[in-house]
Amino acid sequence: MILTSVFIVAGYCASSLLIFLHLANTNSARWVQLTPALIAVLLQALLLRQQIYTSPGTMNLGFFIAFSLISWLVSVQILISCAYRPLHSLGIVMFPISALATLLSVFIPAGQSSGISADPSLQLHIMLSVIAYSLIMLSALQAIALAFQEHAIRSHHPGGLVRFLPPLFDMENLLFQMIGFGFIFLTTALFSGVFFIEDLFAQHLVHKTVLSIAGWVILAILLFGRFKFGWRGRVAIYWTLAAFTTIMLAYFGSKLVIEYLLPTTA
């Protein structure tokens, strides 16, 4: 695992560096910059399979393994999007995060209560949730990039990385496309939880359930505001980041408490 993680980190960091160095060169072949990340994504998939399915009948989705899985999905989405949109600049930030997540998942042991029953219906619910979280995380990255771009335009200093981003109109449309897909998957995940989990408001799940519903409501209001009132710019950015914070607290906050904090106080 350690050797594999070294190659993963090297691939992600190499792609991030190549993208940064060649942003100004519009003639540079994008596939050259992204090939190391593609190799890293494939290796991380193999590593995650070993980490998650450690024993028959259970899935290991500890705090840092879940972080690695979600960061992997975001990196995959960036690579797929780069096939038809110039979104490779997001890799400058996301690829190092995926590298860090890989290292943490390998070198920090899983906390208590990280094993999950590998019942097929529960697996479906988990994968829907993870895909939703990754799409919302990607939306947050897009919102941050949009915030920098809008600030640069308002201050009449559209330099640095901002000048290599797509036009503001395209960035906003892409943001709401990501939010729309994330909302669909989050809605499906919440509905699947109603059918596949006996008590969503059990003591160890209540915080996760309440915060997930709160994040869903924030996204619903944002999408309604976009459709009805044409919300854009800072309003869209703030609501997106609020939804991201709420939903990440729902998942990672509850996992951190259950796996690492509760055992030490028990």
Query: pLDDT digits over 160-180, tens only?
Result: 666 667 778 888 999 999 999
Residue 110 phi/psi, 5° resolution?
Answer: -65, 145
| 13-39 tens-digit pLDDT | 999 999 988 876 656 678 889 999 999
pLDDT at 256: 73
* Alpha helices (H) in 22-158, listed in sequence order: 30-52, 63-81, 91-107, 120-154
* Confidence band, pLDDT 50/70/90 cuts, at residue 201: low
Q: Give helix 91-107 / helix 2-21 axis angle, nearest 10°.
A: 170
pLDDT at 101: 96
By percentage, how much of the chain surpasses pLDDT 90? Answer: 52
* Confidence band, pLDDT 50/70/90 cuts, at residue 266: very low
